[in-house]
Structure 1
Amino acid sequence: MRAEPLSSPHAYHAEGPIWWEPWGGLRYVDMLAGDILLLGDDGTVTRTHVGSVAAAMRPRSGGGAVVAGERGFLLGHANDLSDLTPARELWTGNEIRFNEGGCDPSGAFYCGTMAYAVTPGAASMWRLDPDGSTSEILTDLTISNGLGWSPDGTLAYYIDTPTRTISAFDWSPEAGLTNRRPFVELDASVTGGPDGLTVDAEGGVWVALFGGAGVRRYSPEGSLEAIITVEPSQVTACTFGGPDLDTLYITTSRENLGDDEEPLAGAVFACQPGVRGLPALPYSG
């Protein structure tokens, strides 16, 4: 399969797409510009600036959004994001920023970090619970990336990009993420590193390949079942959306590319792969 562009190139580093009908459809971030983007049906893009970094976001069950900024979480109840209020910063210094995240079935929001210098072992993952408390739940990471849950909510899939491994965790509301183990390990024949991911209604795991010009689907047993090609090489993330959740939206990046390289890098792409996705899990705080 091949994904086709839905927009002209417009983002430096598009990431974290999420479909949520009350928002008006597909939102995603231009991460290092600090902007949240809304894609219109005609391919137009509306930007909302939220800070120096807009790393990841999820809808709130009562309306609005939770957004991971550079070093803390922003919360708001308005679907147009007009009332986002920064929370306290979780660490000091300019070496580390938030990078990618997602919500679990109980409504907690997780977001991982990375060092600007991509320092091995310097990153971690934080959890924002519905009561507003925060905790650092994983450490010794490098580029914390994709995170998603199985249809029954008992498994979570996770990527720390330099490991070239999609990990699986057991998950329960009581214990959280436990029993990390490899789900899929990408061998040297696979171009690019695993980045964002999403899980479909059949339990398939779709993984964007940064530098690999594509998205791969793995079965619940870990076997490769589909490859979607994307013209730009730096594919960052994917999510299902549309009224029937049957469209796979794919974000791309032009970070560190020259002006004449990969003319469609920074556009949003889409295809209909013949399977439906899962509704987005919102933050319940």
Structure 2
Amino acid sequence: MTEVIPTSRVECLVRSRDQLGETPLWCERTNKLWWVDIENPKLQSYDPSTDFHEVFPMHGMTFLGSHALTFSGRHLLAHDLDLVLRSADGGDAAPFASVEAGLDNRLNDGRVDRHGRLWIGTMDNQLHRPAGSLYRVDSSGEAVKIFGDVIVSNGIAFSPDGRRFHFTDTRRHQSWVFDMDPEDGTISNRRLFADYSTAGDRPDGACFDVDGGLWTAFFAGGRVVRYNPHGQIDIVIELPLTNPTCVCFGGDDLRTLIVTTATKFLSEEKLASEPLAGAVFAIHGVAQGLPENRFAA
């Protein structure tokens, strides 16, 4: 049986009005939420203890595709097709690695595994060509291409035991699961996890809870769902807007599901009817999450 959680349980945390809010990450060191606006490039934080929302514009970037926390306290930022490291005190970002070159692509969704390696994908800027790829980046800055033939990389997530890897191609409307060696970071045995190609649904960002449930936001679908460990949807959260983008767990006990959203692609009429589009939301007590892994830099 599927539990439907109504919009009345969905709390607006930050009215950020992001054009394409993405990659929410909870920092357990500072008890702050961090996320990005991809197309109006800025890094943002929110401190729930003070209700303070801080914005750090990323000048000179076309896209800020995603970001990662690091062991050193810096932020690893996906700037167009490059990775840069931003100091904890907010100074200039230093070049770290170039992932791709010569393609009309940009970096998109990324997540760090338990050994501090970044898994990040590229996507076609025109949203229809299979020119993107998935990469694994280690602490030396070496980027290893895992596979190509991707339109829009998304939904990167690791199971609690580190033995399953999930990946989504939003514009193919499909998600896959792989077996993963948690030590050496190799993946194998690719198989289809969910296929929405007939309906045209767009699975986007994802994360796991401690019980092995996979939470996925559906862009243009107005909902977040949980797949139980058997791959069946057992929870649906209805949101008061069209474009949820990504999810994470936060709060002192990691029992708050946090959802970023977007105003992208919404008409003026739709924006007027969705005053909370582009905001960050919280749903309390639906599950318990896992601490965010940090990049080894």
> Match of 2:278, as an amino acid?
G
User: 1:48 aligned to 2:56?
Assistant: yes
8 Å CA contact 2:204–2:218 kept in 1: the answer is yes
The answer to whether the 8 Å contact 1:239/1:250 transfers is: yes
* TM-score under structure 2 length normalisation: 0.89
Q: Does 1:120 align with 2:129?
A: yes
Match of 1:154 in 2: 163
What corresponds to 1:97 in structure 2? 106
* Aligned counterparts of 1:133 and 1:29: Cα–Cα separation in 2: 24
**Is 1:61 aligned with 2:71?**
yes
Mapped partners of 1:199, 1:88: distance in 2: 28
Q: Does the alignment pair 1:34 with 2:41? A: yes
* Partner of residue 191 from structure 2, selected from 158, 181, 192: 181
Show the 5 A alignment for 1:1-285. 1=5, 2=7, 3-41=10-48, 43-50=51-58, 51-76=61-86, 78-93=87-102, 95-172=104-181, 173-174=183-184, 176-186=186-196, 188=198, 192-260=201-269, 261=271, 262-285=274-297
Once the 2 structures are TM-superposed, how far is the Cα of residue 92 of structure 1 from its aligned partner?
3.4
Query: Percent of pairs identical after alignment?
Result: 30
| Deviation (angstroms), 1:49 | 2.4
Alpha-carbon offset, residue 112 of structure 1: 0.6
Residue 275 of structure 1: SS of its match in structure 2? coil
Counterpart code for 1:40? D
SS in 2 for 1:27: strand
In structure 2, list runs of 5 or more residues that go unmatched.
none
Provide structure 1 residue ranges, at least 5 long, that are not aligned to the other structure. Answer: none
Q: Using a 3 Å threshold, how does the CA distance of structure 1 residues 121 and 63 change in structure 2: closer, same or farther?
A: same
The number of aligned residues is 283
Deviation at 1:275, TM superposition (A): 1.4
Point out the more displaced range, 136-145 or 254-263.
254-263
Closer, same or farther in 2 for the Cα pair 1:200/1:119, shift >3 Å?
Answer: same
CA contact (8 A) 1:4 1:230 kept: no
Secondary structure of 2:39 counterpart:
helix
Instruction: Name the amino acid aligned to 2:265.
Output: N
Shift of 1:24: 4.3
One-letter amino acid of the structure 1 residue matched with residue 232 of structure 2: S
Native 8 Å contact 1:108 1:283 kept in 2: yes
TM value normalised by structure 1? 0.93
CA drift of 1:21 comes to: 2.5
Give the aligned residue type for 1:274: V
